[in-house]
Amino acid sequence: MPDTMKRRIDPGFVLAFSIIAFSSCSAFYLPGLAPVSFCEVSEADDCQTDIQLFVNRLDSVESVLPYEYDVFDFCQDEMEKRPSENLGQVLFGERIETSPYKFSFKKDIKCQKTCTKTYSKDKPEYKDKLDFLKRGMQLNYQHHWIIDNMPVTWCYEVEDSQKYCNPGFPIGCLVTSDGRVKDACVINSEFIKKNTFYVFNHVDIKIKYHSGENEGWKGARLVAATLEPKSIAEADENNPVCDGPPMEVPGEFESDVKITYTYSVTFEPNTEIKWASRWDYILVSMPHTNIQWFSIMNSLVIVLFLSGMVAMIMLRTLHKDIARYNQVDQEDAQEESGWKQVHGDVFRPPRKGMLLSVFLGQGTQIFIMTFITLFLACLGFLSPANRGALMTCAVVLWVLLGTPAGYVSARLYKTFGGEKWKTNVLLTALLCPGIVFADFFLMNLILWGEGSSAAIPFGTLVAILALWFGISVPLTFMGAYFGFKKPAIEQPVRTNQIPRQIPEQSFFTKPIPGIVMGGILPFGCIFIQLFFILNSIWSHQMYYMFGFLFLVFIILLITCSEATILLCYFHLCAEDYHWWWRSFLTSGFTAVYLFVYAVHYFFSKLQIVGAASTILYFGYTMIMVLIFFLFTGTIGFFACFWFVNKIYSVVKVD
């Protein structure tokens, strides 16, 4: 990066430039992700000659448990080094390390031996290692290799002759005892022997580079890295030829097994792909991309139309109500029914006001965190190239946003007439984060027990607790201090001393039917996007359409607000003034639909097997559901709070 770009720049200019760059360019990269120039050994000057291939943890669509590269007994780097990992990478279970695959720029390699692994049938430890390797092939575990911070992809044709580039490739495949060919075994017609595993012990790596001779910079930049996995049984492990019958591992361990790992590397110049758009061939080839674009646009049009209809109904009906109430005298008004009749009870403090204020404080913290994270993702700061940045950003923002959580909780609790301020601030700082951490810790115990790479190290857990108790809790206390110092929120009408009797309600104006109906519309605007988010989490596909996600986020805010306001208006017209909790639960019930959809996704889309993986799936899903419940409930509450204050401040009350 040029030295002039490293100087201190005005933040306002950076923000403006980022927005312009986002709207006019297809990709936006951070200074920390600056391009690296490579050149041949004879031309080495200000560029690198050696290309380092890193290996990441292995995962599977049939198991929630990822494992480190070394667990499968692959070839290891003698000088193994681990690059520094950020918090997000550790939480996601990424374990990046150097590999024994060594090569230099523009130096082609043909059939280079990496190592030979021998499994003796007479030693139990070798049987365990080979069984674990076969178990990985049976569950379709995938390698994830990295070159120049770019995934090494396996590209192949799918339906309708479309090319799909997978950022991982399988460690092997299985032909079952009944002759069924499973998963990756379809790539080779020679994989036909029953009850046999075929190890992909050879890879042909092809690296494409873009030369800078005609563009004013030295060396070349890597723009694509692809490979083709092969299974080859080497007759001579000392002089491999990388050509021959496939490497078979019998289902029954009756004789010694030798697996020789080899690789070939070729370099190919490319003038079409630019460095800034080198991820495009991976992202564009993701399955269902076209369907996603069409579905999102269709969903947005429907939601915008429904939101417009709700807004029109509310504005026209309310305008007539207010005009009618303000024109009639008080005696006539007493004979009528409607929302004005409950003006003396509508601001009566709710039951369990402490818990409601705590939920709203936490929901505010989650809302601000989500908004800032998605906004930064839209600007390209949290792109897939910046590994772990999304989770790191979210966690850091959550920690730093303790102040608004404490302020909102304390201010509302004081408005409800609460006096136990110590209990309020402690619950705000500890209740919901404590539930999430307890769930997370239990899931981590399972991961520890299974030996998974996703298990968070003890030191990281201590660091998370330090962030929570050392930064978030004090900031929550500070926000609560300012919240209690402020006067209670002034209501536009006085509250009667004696509660008004609520008349008999119809089925649709009773609490439970209204709450159940309230979450349908908000869920309708996110379920398509939710499918692709779940795919990125559990099916290990890259999610990159943050622009659409941010747009859906805004639509979700509008829809939650309008659906809650509409139902609140109907209940007030039916003279039911218990709107505090109902407004929170109406939009918060969207989280229940999210959970139901997650259950449907588990049984219909995933192929997960094993009790541990099932428990982990639903354990992490419950964390997502709780966070989404607080988030949507807070949106509905504040929308309804604003609406009720607005309508009772413009109508005449004697």
Q: What is the pLDDT of residues 62-87, one digit of tens each?
A: 888 999 998 998 998 877 788 888 88
What pLDDT band is residue 14 in, cutting at 50, 70 and 90? very low
What pLDDT band is residue 328 in, cutting at 50, 70 and 90? low
Taking residues 612-639, what's their average pLDDT?
Answer: 95
Is residue 632 packed enough to be buried (19+ CB in 10 Å), middle (13-18) or exposed (0-12)? buried
Return d(Cα 596, Cα 347) in angstroms, integer. 34
Q: Judge whether 321 and 339 are in contact, CB under 8 Å.
A: yes
Q: Judge whether 63 and 610 are in contact, CB under 8 Å.
A: yes
Is it the case that residue 3 has pLDDT exceeding 50?
A: no
pTM: 0.85
Please tell me which residue, 99 or 541, carries the higher pLDDT value: 99
Q: 556: helix, coil or strand? A: helix
CA distances to 191, 234, 250, 256 from 199, in Å: 11, 12, 11, 15
Is it the case that residue 532 has pLDDT exceeding 70?
A: yes
Q: 262: helix, coil or strand? A: strand
Q: Judge whether 281 and 165 are in contact, CB under 8 Å.
A: yes
What residue has token string 């499994």? 119
What pLDDT score was predicted for residue 125?
83
C-beta atoms surrounding 455 within 10 Å:
20
pLDDT in tens, 188-199: 777 878 888 999
Q: 348: helix, coil or strand? A: coil
Of the listed ranges 5-19, 161-175, 237-251, the one predicted with least confidence? 5-19
Q: Please provide the DSSP assignment of 117-183 as one string.
A: EEE-TT-HHHHHHHHHHHHHHHTT-EE-EEETTEEPBEEEE-GGG-EEEES-EESEEEE-TT--EEG
Closest CA to 413 of 352, 472, 365: 352
Q: Judge whether 450 and 65 are in contact, CB under 8 Å.
A: yes
C-beta atoms surrounding 268 within 10 Å:
12
What residue has token string 């390209």? 380
Is it the case that residue 1 has pLDDT exceeding 70?
A: no
Helix (H) or strand (E) holding 352: none
Return d(Cα 197, Cα 251) in angstroms, integer. 7
Q: Judge whether 373 and 390 are in contact, CB under 8 Å.
A: yes
Structure tokens at 27: 């990709």
pLDDT in tens, 566-602: 888 888 888 888 889 999 999 999 999 999 999 999 9
| Residues contacting 10, CB < 8 A, separation 6+ | none
> How much is the mean pLDDT over the chain?
82
**Highest-confidence range of 21-35, 252-266, 282-296, by mean pLDDT?**
252-266
Residue 456 sits at φ, ψ, to 5 deg, of -75, 130
Q: 536: helix, coil or strand? A: helix
Query: What letters, b where the CB count within 10 A reaches 16 and e where it falls short, cover 560-593?
Result: bbbbbbbbbbebbbbbbbbbbbbbbbbbbbbbbb
**Residue type at position 510:** K
What pLDDT score was predicted for residue 237?
76
Q: Judge whether 158 and 164 are in contact, CB under 8 Å.
A: yes
Return d(Cα 255, Cα 565) in angstroms, integer. 72
Return d(Cα 259, Cα 198) in angstroms, integer. 11
What residue has token string 């900031």? 475
pLDDT in tens, 194-234: 888 999 999 999 999 988 776 666 778 898 999 999 999 88
Return d(Cα 260, Cα 130) in angstroms, integer. 14
How, if at all, do strands 257-269 and 202-211 pair? Answer: parallel
336: left (phi over 0), alpha (psi -120 to 50) or beta: beta
Is it the case that residue 446 has pLDDT exceeding 90?
A: yes
Is it the case that residue 88 has pLDDT exceeding 90?
A: no
What pLDDT score was predicted for residue 435?
96
Taking residues 477-503, what's their average pLDDT?
Answer: 83
Terminal C-alpha separation, the chain: 70
CA distances to 97, 309, 311, 313, 336 from 316, in Å: 63, 11, 9, 5, 20
8-state DSSP, 508: G
What pLDDT score was predicted for residue 32?
43
Return d(Cα 96, Cα 143) in angstroms, integer. 12
Taking residues 308-332, what's their average pLDDT?
Answer: 68
C-beta atoms surrounding 327 within 10 Å:
10
Closest CA to 452 of 137, 144, 93, 83: 93
What pLDDT score was predicted for residue 295?
62
What pLDDT band is residue 407 in, cutting at 50, 70 and 90? very high
**CA 444 to chain CA mean position, Å:** 18
